[in-house]
């Protein structure tokens, strides 16, 4: 499964792996909404992604904006493939998004 979710007392973890494309968007959106409802910090793990498309990047951008507005932090771990996809799509200035693998 390319999208997984874990939660403990202090944070949520959303992990994306493999090819994360439009087919994963609805599931990711649901998990991002669950995270926002939990009002906890988020660790977003994209280290295992081999491919990520614009739909997923748009969801991550929206989640980042919402988190910033709510004062909730996101810690990013990003693969080279995800970083390249974000740069290529013009998302290289996403707040908090690290381009370090």
Identify whether 25 is part of a domain: yes
HSE value, Cβ hemisphere, 13 Å, CA-based, for 24: 25
Identify whether 101 is part of a domain: no
What global pTM score does this model have? 0.87
Identify whether 95 is part of a domain: no
Give the model's pLDDT for residue 101: 43
Mean pLDDT computed over every residue of the chain:
88
Q: What is the pLDDT of residues 59-78, one digit of tens each?
A: 999 998 888 888 888 898 98
DSSP state of 18: E
Identify whether 93 is part of a domain: no
Share of the chain above pLDDT 90, in %: 55
Angle 54-70/22-38 helices, nearest 10 degrees? 10
Identify whether 98 is part of a domain: no
Give the model's pLDDT for residue 96: 60
Q: What is the pLDDT of residues 2-21, one digit of tens each?
A: 899 999 998 999 999 999 99
């Amino acid at each position: 499964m390319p999208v997984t979710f874990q939660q403990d007392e202090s944070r949520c973890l959303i992990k994306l792996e493999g090819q994360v494309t439009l087919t994963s968007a609805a599931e990711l959106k649901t998990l991002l909404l669950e995270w926002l409802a939990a009002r906890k910090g988020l660790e977003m793990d994209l280290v295992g992604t081999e491919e990520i498309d614009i739909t997923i990047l748009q969801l991550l951008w929206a989640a980042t904006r919402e988190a910033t507005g709510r004062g909730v932090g996101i810690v990013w771990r990003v693969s080279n493939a995800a970083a390249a996809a974000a740069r290529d799509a013009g998302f290289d200035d996403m707040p908090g998004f690290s381009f370090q693998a």
